[in-house]
Structure 1
Amino acid sequence: MPTMTVLATTAVPDHVRGALTRWMIEPTPGLYVGTLSGRVRNELWAVVAASIGPGAAVLLHPEANEQGFAILTAGERRRTPIDFDGLALIAFRPRDEQAPPLGTAERNPLAAD
């Protein structure tokens, strides 16, 4: 039975976006919503996950569990779903320590001027 599916993407290749719009509507850039059968949803997700490139994607669909939905992710994201006794929770990975962009200086708010 077809069910509502939501797919959010970030920085995915254009051909992936084109494939998604064949099956779903795109109400805002990178957000796709549609009513898909389980088979179509799984096939579409396999294509997205295999060709994600440097981007990321999150798929939400109804599931027979306590929350009533399942979360699938592909690509590098700071937020990662984890299973906590049958509940999907979101864990934040720490940001990588990187140098500030050129032209900016980190200012210590406690330092005297």
Structure 2
Amino acid sequence: MVVVVLTACPLGLRGDLTRWLLEIASGVFVGHITARVRDRLWERITGQIRTGKAIMVYSARNEQHLSFKVHRSDWNPVDCEGLTLMERPTDGGDGRSAGGGNRYRRTGWSNASKYRRAARFRRSRSS
């Protein structure tokens, strides 16, 4: 079993993949092909994708029964004690994700911080 996910790829590449795999959603291809065809498809994908991204998940004889191939993706497969895990993009330290998003962490808005702030306010008013 093979699953290929393409983002920002040329239409010709998507049409080319439909010869061997079924496109079940935009950019998502599924099928059952041999290892030789799978490797040749991956070479074709990486050669034609230009600036797009590609991820291939396929059956393998290992603990997880699957393996990954990644091309220009923010998520990378990492071996962790014999298991392949997908490493997420890390936070750059300035509150933004490595992918360029603007997700700033808001501090001081938890219920505990509200209770602390209210207690400080009460103490300052009573003094």
Question: How well do the aligned residues superpose, as a CA RMSD in angstroms?
Answer: 2.2
Bigger proportion of residues as strand: 1
Q: Which has the higher contact order (CA 8 A, sep 6+)?
A: 1
What is the TM-score when the length of structure 1 is the normalising length? 0.78
**Matched residues in 1 for 2:101 and 2:84: separation?**
33
Change (3 A) 1:9 1:39: same
TM-score normalised by the chain length of structure 2: 0.70
Q: Which residue of 55, 58, 61 corresponds with 2:55? A: 58
Bigger proportion of residues as helix: 2
**Larger radius of gyration between Structure 1 and Structure 2:** 2
The within-5 A match list for 1:31-46 is: 31-46=28-43
- Tell me the residue number matched to 1:79: 75
* Residue segments in structure 1 that go unaligned for 5+ positions in a row: 101-105
Q: How many residue pairs get matched?
A: 100
C-alpha contact (below 8 Å) 1:52/1:74 kept by paired residues: no
